[in-house]
Amino acid sequence: MTGGAVWTLPLADVEDVATGTYWLRFECPAALECDPGHFFMLSSVAPGGGPFLGRPLSIGDVRDGGLGFLVRALGRATAWFRTLPPGSPVRLVGPLGRPFAPPERPLHRMVAGGIGLAPFFYLARRLRETQPQARLELIYGERSADAHAPLAGSERTLFDMVARCTDDGSLGRRGTVVDALGDELDGGDAAWYGCGPQPMLRALAGRLEEAGVTGAQFSLEERMACGFGVCQACIVPNRSGAPRYRLLCVDGPVVDPREVAW
Amino acid sequence: MVERMATTCGPLELANPVLAASGTFGYGDSFERFWPLSTLGGFVTKTLFVAPRDGNPAPRVAETSAGMLNSIGLANVGWEAFVRDKAPRVNALRGAARLIVNVAGNSPEEFGEIAARVEADRDAVRCDAVEVNVSCPNVKEGGTNIGCHLGQFQDAVRRVRAATTLPVFVKLSPNVADVVPFARCAADEGAAGVSLINTLYGMQIDTDRRRPVLGTGSGGLSGPAILPVGVHWVFKVRAALPELPILGIGGIATWRDALQYLMAGAQAVQVGTASFVNPDACMEILAGLERWCATRETSIRAVIGAAHRAGEPAEEPVWTG
């Protein structure tokens, strides 16, 4: 289990980056330390001021004294956050969960489906510091071009290569990120990371397993009420069967895909 | 200052009236990262069965307008693991905070069995009381079937009472036409007090999928939505059974919510779902009650049941922020 505390932070700014997708940024308190892959529960400070429960959001980026979350408006809370004016206080509980634990490798491959892009900016930024010689690749898929985050400015330079794909072929290669990997998973020395919708991750887990890749790290998502192991909502079926379920909030959100009963 | 906050709920002497409710506080050590356990009046463990339980399939929670539905299904580590892995640590942390173990079974007989285990391990666990969960709506064979049928309810409480000399609090279900006969039955069977209310039945339907959201279909509604229901039943039970100690539960998110329960007749309160959203909820409620009592130069004990004292003149409102 990690630490975590309750913070009330004023919203610094909201920036739209693609259809329905935006950065939610806060000033990052000096005392707040977090690693790529950690998440926070974000909620309304005033009871009744917004959706009742908090929402688990992966840390999107930490830089220049700011803490950012890349969010897609897919439901009640993610639409509500978008409407908040700068200065609005938001409750953040965290950092929570088990973050990425990147191994030392010459190549790091991040596979992102949709808003699964969220945790990879901060992961790449950290890898740039800790493994400056390593090559960082991002394979990023969306349904169509309008949903693609542009990766502006310093976000783009975080990666040595960005391969984009879309389901409808409107940008980059047509097909899923798993299709984009091709038949051969070259780079046996690569460290693999995945984040995205469950069907994509299931397919990716299958491909990596076929190719004999071990040690991949996937950041998963589940409904949760608390984020720190109490409500017992965020169960992930355990491949070994014992125990039957694990809690994503404390045993994840970053997990080894081989341990999940997809 | 501190004495202002003290309260007594039957055999339980509490440093303050704020307890953490079962199912929203783990086994007592989950909130240590946020604040010290010893600052609470007490806390109630997640419901323990004799054997561990995996719980229900996902999704297990759904958000509602002013609360949430859950169908966790009483997932728990089982009594043995609690005694071995949790109790020593929790006892090292809790100071004067009272430890109440919440227990359940799938039949009246199993209620007796778990109570016997609690009794057998009482030196190791050092709990101050047992809370009997007859009212969780999620388990077909036990839960509500027992909590909503007076005969089975009486049988379960009687078996628990016979198996242990620890104080027994019975947690009552609101999913009945009248809670009072259940409270009376608990009192007649020798319960030290009652905890009320547990969750209300509820369902949410995903209109895109045209199916219930929860994996089990229905679940238990908690959160601010149920506050008036809990206050209502605490008031009614207090009116009918003025001597029966009450732990007030249901939708408490602010200190004013807690005060409503105390004024309705509860000697102390349990904070549940609010702690999921705001892990500091218990501490904020405690601070608010302290402030309120200090401003008015009154005490927790003085306000318990205040809403029943119709003969006394109502106080002028004092703005306390």
In tens, the pLDDT along B199-249 reads: 999 999 999 999 999 999 999 999 999 999 999 999 999 999 999 999 999
Task: Looking at the complex, report in whole angstroms how far the Cα of residue A147 sits from the nearest Cα belonging to chain B.
Answer: 22
- pTM summary value: 0.93
Q: Which of A1, A243, A220 is nearest to A113 (CA)?
A: A220
Q: In this predicted structure, what is the pLDDT of residue A222?
A: 94
Q: Which of A52, A93, A244 sits opposite B223 (nearest CB)?
A: A52
Task: Looking at the complex, report in whole angstroms how far the Cα of residue A48 sits from the nearest Cα belonging to chain B.
Answer: 7
Q: Do A233 and B59 touch (CB under 8 A)?
A: yes
User: Does residue A3 carry a pLDDT above 70?
Assistant: no
User: Does residue A26 carry a pLDDT above 50?
Assistant: yes
Mean confidence (pLDDT) of chain B: 93
| pLDDT confidence bin for B1, thresholds 50/70/90 | very low
| A218 CB within 8 Å of a chain B CB | no
| A261 CB within 8 Å of a chain B CB | no
Contacts of A3 in chain B (CB under 8 A): 33
| A253 CB within 8 Å of a chain B CB | no
The strand pairing partners of B211, in sequence order, are B206
- What average pLDDT does range B47-67 have in this prediction? 95
Mean confidence (pLDDT) of chain A: 93
Q: Do B72 and A233 touch (CB under 8 A)?
A: yes
With respect to residue A28, please indicate whether it lies within any of the assigned structural domains.
yes
Between A152 and B97, name the one with better pLDDT.
B97
Q: Which of B59, B224, B280 sits opposite A6 (nearest CB)?
A: B280
- What average pLDDT does range A140-151 have in this prediction? 93
| A80 CB within 8 Å of a chain B CB | no
* CA-based R_g, chain A, Å: 18
Q: Do B279 and A6 touch (CB under 8 A)?
A: yes
- What average pLDDT does range A200-213 have in this prediction? 94
Cα(B275)–Cα(B43) distance, integer angstroms: 12
- What average pLDDT does range A103-112 have in this prediction? 96
| A50 CB within 8 Å of a chain B CB | no
Give Cα separations from A165 to A120, A144, A149, A211 (angstroms): 17, 8, 12, 22
Cα(B53)–Cα(B103) distance, integer angstroms: 13
- What average pLDDT does range B80-91 have in this prediction? 97
Range of the domain at A63: 5-96
Q: Do A6 and B60 touch (CB under 8 A)?
A: no
Strand B67-70 relative to strand B98-103, pairing: unpaired
Q: Which of B30, B57, B68 sits opposite A230 (nearest CB)?
A: B30
Q: Do A52 and B224 touch (CB under 8 A)?
A: yes
Strand A235-237 relative to strand A245-247, pairing: antiparallel
Cα(B272)–Cα(A115) distance, integer angstroms: 32
Q: Which fold has domain B2-308?
A: TIM Barrel (3.20.20)
User: Does residue B163 carry a pLDDT above 50?
Assistant: yes
Contacts of A238 in chain B (CB under 8 A): none
The strand pairing partners of A113, in sequence order, are A141
Q: Which of B57, B75, B280 sits opposite A232 (nearest CB)?
A: B75
Task: Looking at the complex, report in whole angstroms how far the Cα of residue A223 sits from the nearest Cα belonging to chain B.
Answer: 7
Question: Which single residue is written with the structure tokens 């908690």?
Answer: B222
Beta strand spans in chain A (E): 5-18, 21-27, 39-44, 55-58, 61-63, 66-72, 89-96, 107-113, 135-142, 161-166, 173-174, 190-195, 217-219, 235-237, 245-247, 254-255
Contacts of B253 in chain A (CB under 8 A): 47
In tens, the pLDDT along A119-141 reads: 999 999 999 999 999 999 999 99
Task: Looking at the complex, report in whole angstroms how far the Cα of residue A21 sits from the nearest Cα belonging to chain B.
Answer: 22
User: Does residue A16 carry a pLDDT above 70?
Assistant: yes
Q: Which chain B residues touch A if contact means CB-CB below 8 Å?
A: 24-26, 30-31, 33-34, 54-55, 57-68, 70, 72, 75, 223-224, 253-254, 273-280
Q: Do A230 and B275 touch (CB under 8 A)?
A: yes
In tens, the pLDDT along B285-307 reads: 999 999 999 999 999 999 999 99
Q: In this predicted structure, what is the pLDDT of residue B140?
A: 47
Q: In this predicted structure, what is the pLDDT of residue A2?
A: 47
Q: Which of A230, A74, A51, A83 is nearest to B66 (CA)?
A: A51
Contacts of B47 in chain A (CB under 8 A): none
Chain B: residue whose CA lies nearest to A55:
B277
Beta strand spans in B245-302 (E): 246-249, 268-271
The count of other CB atoms within 10 Å of the CB of residue A5 is 16
User: Does residue B136 carry a pLDDT above 90?
Assistant: no
Question: Among B136, B148, B282, B293, which one carries the catalytic annotation?
Answer: B136
Rounded-to-10 torsion of CA A36, A137, A211, A105: -60
A-to-B residue pairs, Cβ atoms closer than 8 angstroms: 95
Q: In this predicted structure, what is the pLDDT of residue A241?
A: 87
| A225 CB within 8 Å of a chain B CB | yes
User: Does residue B159 carry a pLDDT above 90?
Assistant: yes
Q: Do B68 and A6 touch (CB under 8 A)?
A: no
Domain CATH number, residue A58: 2.40.30.10
Residue type, B312: E
The distance of Cα B108 from the centroid of its chain, to the nearest Å, equals 20
Q: Indicate the SS3 state at residue A248.
A: helix
Residue type, B159: R
Task: Looking at the complex, report in whole angstroms how far the Cα of residue A169 sits from the nearest Cα belonging to chain B.
Answer: 27
Q: Which of A17, A71, A62 is nearest to A42 (CA)?
A: A71
Domain count, chain A: 1
With respect to residue A70, please indicate whether it lies within any of the assigned structural domains.
yes
Element (H, E) at B288: helix B281-296
ipTM: 0.93
Q: In this predicted structure, what is the pLDDT of residue A1?
A: 40
Task: Looking at the complex, report in whole angstroms how far the Cα of residue B208 sits from the nearest Cα belonging to chain A.
Answer: 13
With respect to residue A88, please indicate whether it lies within any of the assigned structural domains.
yes
Is B136 marked active-site?
yes
Chain A: residue whose CA lies nearest to B71:
A233
pLDDT over 70, % of chain A: 97
Q: Do B254 and A229 touch (CB under 8 A)?
A: no
With respect to residue A124, please indicate whether it lies within any of the assigned structural domains.
no
Task: Looking at the complex, report in whole angstroms how far the Cα of residue A92 sits from the nearest Cα belonging to chain B.
Answer: 9
Q: Which of B203, B185, B202 is nearest to B194 (CA)?
A: B185
Q: Which of A4, A225, A245 sits opposite B276 (nearest CB)?
A: A225
In tens, the pLDDT along A150-199 reads: 888 778 889 999 999 999 999 999 999 999 987 667 656 899 999 999 99
Chain A: residue whose CA lies nearest to B252:
A47
Between B87 and B315, name the one with better pLDDT.
B87
